[in-house]
Chain A
Amino acid sequence: MSVDQATVRRVAHLARIAVTEEEVVHLQGELNAILAFVDELAEVDVTGVEPMTSVIPMTLPLRQDTVTDGFYPERVLANAPVAEDGFFAVPKVVE
């Protein structure tokens, strides 16, 4: 399978990465090289094979549903690009 430039733009938008027109051209070539490389998998017979979910057989551990951590908002916000009044601040999202 290979991608056209419209697909490159669509995938970039899905991934929330801005791309310039010039980048689209390069990315198309690079993405197609990688997709051609992985296309080799199409020749493997996977009939009746279960997809891998965990390399080491284990059951998901459970614990009591209680609060075990927290109560330090200043540390949680310490790396926020913009924080106001103890909250993460973002551009307006509701009109």
Chain B
Amino acid sequence: MTELTRLTITAAREGLAQGHFTATELTQAYLDAIEPAGDLNAYVLSTPEKALEMAKASDERIAKGEAGMLEGIPLGVKDNYAVDGVRTTAGSNMLKNFVPQYESTVTANLWRDGAVLLGKLNQDEFAMGSSTETSAFGPTVNPWRRDGSDQPLVPGGSSGGVAAAVAAHICAGAAGTDTGGSIRQPAAFTGTVGIKPTYGRCSRWGIIAYASSLDQAGPIARSVNDAALLLRSMAGHDPKDSTSVDRPVPDYQQAVGGSVKGMRIGIPREYRVDGMSGEIASLWDEGAQWLRDAGAEVVEISLPHSKYALPAYYIVALAEASSNLARYDGVRYGERVPGRDIVEMYEKTRAAGFGAEVRRRIMIGTYVLSAGYYDAYYVRAQKVRTLIKRDFENAFHAGIDAVLAPATPSPAFGIGEVSGADPVEMYLQDVFTVTLNMAGLPGIAVPAGLSGDGLPLGLQLIGRPFGEGALFSLAQVIEEAAGRFECPEKWWL
């Protein structure tokens, strides 16, 4: 039944509808593929019993003609989504025994539409990282390797387990989250499609918070069409998240294959940064040509504050993180280390429960919010954020429909290669992705080619607020021109 795991979600739905196979058989095929894939370390918890129960219920609904739009489709979920009764750790020792008694809205939407949970996927601790190396469960390994090399590479992060599992066909698609690039950079590193929708499009309720004004949920999938289908299920208004937007969710699949004729695509000149690989620069040019060939008009634009997005992000995100993670005090949930008094209990609990990167980020966030520094750092960064958003607004007012940019400055790197003494080196991974989170805009990463040594490279399209439909149309043009990218060798078997 291994061939069942090769199907796109769209093809699997057709097969289920026509009775070629059952949801139970499809789910079992994925469970059989997960079992020997331990070397990838993509799953931190697999839930085979729950999966087979859900698949059985799907088969009953299919038989009754009551199939939902994701009926019987086996999915993985990043480990920062609360799933009722299923251990949820956000990749942290702090939450190593946390079993939520409630369900996140986005996962509830997926189950409402009939999807099947295969398990929880690895991530950087509290989504703080760009390589999945900060996870308390150890790094996830990218299914892709350089030609002729067996050096283990990172899958990107923080949704590294999500992207690796999708690329390795050990789930049909998966739910990730993106605060500074955490869906799009791993998608680019693994040859998969990842979309971060407009801020407010998906509910954040029940997702373990990192930086609340930047966090958004989104899918990673093996095709643009699959991503469109998953996002339609995940998105929607939720009264439990006051920043969730009350507007109808379009049928994104209708946009896939839609014409891009006459669309104006901006190429931001500020994104031609020093140190960008020549391969990525030429891939960017090629992507622009594909869109031109499909009838879009490609023009150079200026987003003058782009270079300040990353430093502003590291103030805003870390300030919000220091505030959000104050809840881990060893009292209501999470681990506790006893102390002589309550302050010592807090300090020991947090020193033991958080990993090095999380402690570092909380401390920076605490510093920039502390008396005497708040205006100089935090308020200033929020002003710069206004300027970054204004750059995009100016481009959209001038008639630009979407922006084309690389997804990452380089292909996947080796495990341990970028986690040296200077944390800023890793932060530069987000240079092309973070601007969108700062401006609340949607962005999709779509695979567009291979590097000289055989690793996937991605392009990114950035849209107007709630312009996800246009992004799916444009991404489909790239998918059709570039083809889909399958990892050539299942070395983990």
A67 within 8 A of B: no
Which residues of chain B are within 8 angstroms of A78 by Cβ–Cβ distance? 99, 101
Contact of A31 among B322, B340, B364, B439 (CB under 8 A): B364
Number of B interface residues in the complex (CB < 8 A): 76
B424 contacts A34, CB within 8 Å? yes
Contacts A78-B99, A80-B333 given; indicate if A38 touches B311 (C-beta within 8 A): yes
A11 contacts B379, CB within 8 Å? no
B383 contacts A16, CB within 8 Å? no
Residues of B242-270 whose CB lies within 8 A of A? 242-243, 245-246
Nearest-neighbor residue (CB-CB) of A89 within chain B: B331
Nearest-neighbor residue (CB-CB) of B84 within chain A: A75
Cα A56 to Cα B344 in complex, Å, equals: 41
B314 contacts A34, CB within 8 Å? yes
Residues of B226-256 whose CB lies within 8 A of A? 239, 242-243, 245-246
Number of A interface residues in the complex (CB < 8 A): 53
B221 within 8 A of A: no
Residues of A21-78 whose CB lies within 8 A of B? 27, 29-31, 33-35, 37-42, 44, 46, 49-56, 58, 60-61, 63, 72, 75-76, 78
Which residues of chain A are within 8 angstroms of B242 by Cβ–Cβ distance? 60-61
Binds A, one of B14-22, B384-392, B443-451: B384-392
A82 within 8 A of B: yes
A11 contacts B366, CB within 8 Å? yes
Cα A7 to Cα B367 in complex, Å, equals: 9
> Of A29, A42, A55, which is in contact with the most chain B CB atoms at under 10 Å from its CB?
A55
Contacts A41-B381, A56-B245, A93-B342 given; indicate if A19 touches B351 (C-beta within 8 A): yes
Q: How many inter-chain residue pairs (CB < 8 Å) link A and B?
A: 169
Contact of A41 among B347, B384, B424 (CB under 8 A): B384
B396 within 8 A of A: no
A18 within 8 A of B: yes
A46 contacts B342, CB within 8 Å? no
Cα A30 to Cα B361 in complex, Å, equals: 10
Contacts A44-B305, A44-B384 given; indicate if A33 touches B423 (C-beta within 8 A): yes
Cα A8 to Cα B367 in complex, Å, equals: 9
Contacts A31-B364, A55-B199, A80-B332 given; indicate if A46 touches B315 (C-beta within 8 A): no
B196 to chain A, nearest CB (A): 12
Contact of B367 among A11, A33, A53, A61 (CB under 8 A): A11
Cα A7 to Cα B243 in complex, Å, equals: 35
B389 contacts A55, CB within 8 Å? yes
A37 contacts B424, CB within 8 Å? yes
Which residues of chain A are within 8 angstroms of B200 by Cβ–Cβ distance? 56, 58
Contact of A81 among B308, B330, B348, B376 (CB under 8 A): B330
| Chain B window 294-317, contacts with chain A (Cβ cutoff 8 Å), 1 for yes, 0 for no | 000000000001011001101100
A46 contacts B364, CB within 8 Å? no
Cα A93 to Cα B346 in complex, Å, equals: 12
A41 contacts B367, CB within 8 Å? no
Nearest-neighbor residue (CB-CB) of A16 within chain B: B346
B112 within 8 A of A: no
B99 to chain A, nearest CB (A): 7
Which residues of chain A are within 8 angstroms of B383 by Cβ–Cβ distance? 44, 46, 49-52
B366 contacts A79, CB within 8 Å? no
Cα A3 to Cα B381 in complex, Å, equals: 19
Cα A60 to Cα B246 in complex, Å, equals: 12
Nearest-neighbor residue (CB-CB) of B378 within chain A: A51
Which residues of chain B are within 8 angstroms of A82 by Cβ–Cβ distance? 336
B331 contacts A90, CB within 8 Å? yes
Cα A63 to Cα B238 in complex, Å, equals: 13
Cα A16 to Cα B350 in complex, Å, equals: 7
Cα A34 to Cα B310 in complex, Å, equals: 11
Residues of B107-130 whose CB lies within 8 A of A? none
B346 contacts A56, CB within 8 Å? no
B314 contacts A14, CB within 8 Å? no
Cα A50 to Cα B389 in complex, Å, equals: 12
7 A-B pairs besides A17-B347, A27-B360, A34-B424 with CB distance below 8 A are A11-B366, A15-B366, A16-B347, A41-B380, A56-B198, A61-B242, A81-B331
**Chain A interface (Cβ < 8 Å from any Cβ of B):** 1, 3, 7-8, 11-19, 27, 29-31, 33-35, 37-42, 44, 46, 49-56, 58, 60-61, 63, 72, 75-76, 78-82, 88, 90-93
Interface CB pairs A-B, < 8 A, 12: A18-B344, A18-B350, A30-B422, A31-B367, A33-B422, A37-B427, A38-B314, A55-B199, A58-B243, A79-B98, A79-B101, A79-B333
**3 closest residue pairs by CB, A with B:** A55-B440, A51-B382, A81-B336
